[in-house]
Amino acid sequence: MTEQTEQQAPDSIERADQQASDSTAPAPARIPAEVSAEAQTALPAPPPMPEAPPVVPPPVTKDRRVLRAVLRWSAAAVVFAAVGTSAAYGITRMERTDVPGLQTQADGRWDYPEIVRPPLPSGRPGPFAEANPAGAHYADLRELVLPAPEGARADKALRGTDGWLAKKDFLAAYGSKDDRETLGQLLTDYGLRHIAARGWTTQDGTHTGVYLLQFDTAAVVDELETAEMAPYSSPKFALRGAAEARQDEGLPEEAWLEGEHQSVYDEARPYGAAQVRQAYVTAGDTLALIVQSRKGSTKAVPFQQTVVLQSQLLG
């Protein structure tokens, strides 16, 4: 009896130790490989493991989604910009807020199509590049004329032949016979090469004429414009239907491109049958004349918009 008690005592101590161990560390018991199947079934089942709490991903905030979207679109814009330069040397689209002073939703702007500069011949620089001291426009001049806005009716008289306007048709924009003869001789003396033009009439009755005159160098154009055609105070030659013209300070300097020069005029009151606005813009080897007229009076905003867009297209 004593021996049996002594044999049971160590077993009791071992079970007590095992229980104490189970209470402090709830890990399941490891079953030795040599224990028989009958012994394994006799062993107490290990306590169940506590279930791990579900892993909840941190909420994705709206700001992070927006940031990732901005980064993706920024990267895409860089790629498209790199690809686009191989086909054309610039994309010019004036948005409503690009011109200071023209920032409202109903400011009277015309709906122009997207304006894309034509591609340059391989290896040729732009008109304002350092490698182009003559300021030559190597792109097709006919593709540098501003397109008509949506809904406008084309002026067939300014289409010319194959897109080139004859000098006499350009001179028809001036009212005096003496002015036409004098200016015609000046254009010949200064070495006029081409004239590209386009005209249209919008639904409100405003007629627009855009003329691009190309010469050999930028120096020739600068002298012709400042000395012969468009002094600061008023243009030297009067356009058809225009009374005395005066310098127009309405277009802010921030709207002009570096390297271009502009002389903008408005018809002084009292107007004739129509008010005439005009602008001379020099851009490298090209002199642009933009004319708008309308019975009664012309609107300043579409005139300024047209002048700025044509200037950007030449730059």
Specify the pLDDT at position 62. 44
Specify the pLDDT at position 75. 39
As a whole number of angstroms, the distance between CA 211 and CA 314 comes to 12
Q: Which residue has the higher pLDDT, 109 or 3?
A: 109
Task: State yes or no: pLDDT of 262 exceeds 50.
Answer: yes
Listing DSSP states for 25-87 in one string gives --PPPPPPTTS-HHHHHHSPPPPPPPPPPP-PPPP--HHHHHHHHHHHHHHHHHHHHHHHTTT
Highest mean pLDDT, choosing among 3-7, 29-33, 298-302 = 298-302
What pLDDT band is residue 26 in, cutting at 50, 70 and 90? very low
SS3 state of residue 209: strand
Task: State yes or no: pLDDT of 265 exceeds 90.
Answer: yes
Specify the pLDDT at position 11. 47
Q: Which residues contact 245 (CB under 8 A, 6 or more apart)?
A: 234, 235, 238, 239, 265, 266, 267, 268, 276, 278
For the segment 172-186, what is each residue's pLDDT rounded down to a tens digit? 999 999 999 999 999
Share of the chain above pLDDT 90, in %: 54
Q: How many residues does the chain have?
A: 315
Q: Which residue has the higher pLDDT, 17 or 225?
A: 225
The whole-chain average pLDDT of the chain stands at 77
**222 alpha-carbon distance from chain centroid:** 29
Task: State yes or no: pLDDT of 309 exceeds 50.
Answer: yes
Q: Residue 253 has which token pair?
A: 């300097």
**30 alpha-carbon distance from chain centroid:** 72
| Gyration radius from the chain CA atoms | 41
As a whole number of angstroms, the distance between CA 121 and CA 140 comes to 9
Listing DSSP states for 234-262 in one string gives S-SSPBTT---EEE---S-GGGSPTT-EE
pTM (2 d.p.) = 0.69
For the segment 79-106, what is each residue's pLDDT rounded down to a tens digit? 334 333 333 444 344 444 455 444 454 6
SS3 state of residue 241: coil
For the segment 48-89, what is each residue's pLDDT rounded down to a tens digit? 555 555 555 555 444 444 444 444 444 334 333 433 333 344
Specify the pLDDT at position 189. 97
For the segment 189-204, what is each residue's pLDDT rounded down to a tens digit? 999 999 999 999 999 9
Q: Which residues of 287-304 are buried (b: 16+ CB within 10 A; e: fewer)?
A: bbbbbbbbeeebbbbbbb
For residues 271 and 281, the answer to whether their CB atoms sit within 8 Å is: no
Specify the pLDDT at position 72. 43
Q: Of 249, 167, 275, nearest to 213 (Cα)? A: 167
For residues 209 and 194, the answer to whether their CB atoms sit within 8 Å is: no
Specify the pLDDT at position 154. 97
Q: Where are the alpha helices (DSSP H) in 158-290?
A: 167-171, 177-189, 218-223
Task: State yes or no: pLDDT of 150 exceeds 50.
Answer: yes
For the segment 279-303, what is each residue's pLDDT rounded down to a tens digit? 999 999 999 999 999 999 999 999 9
As a whole number of angstroms, the distance between CA 120 and CA 135 comes to 14
Q: Of 228, 212, 186, nearest to 283 (Cα)? A: 212
Half-sphere exposure of 57 (CA within 13 A, CB side): 3
**81 alpha-carbon distance from chain centroid:** 11
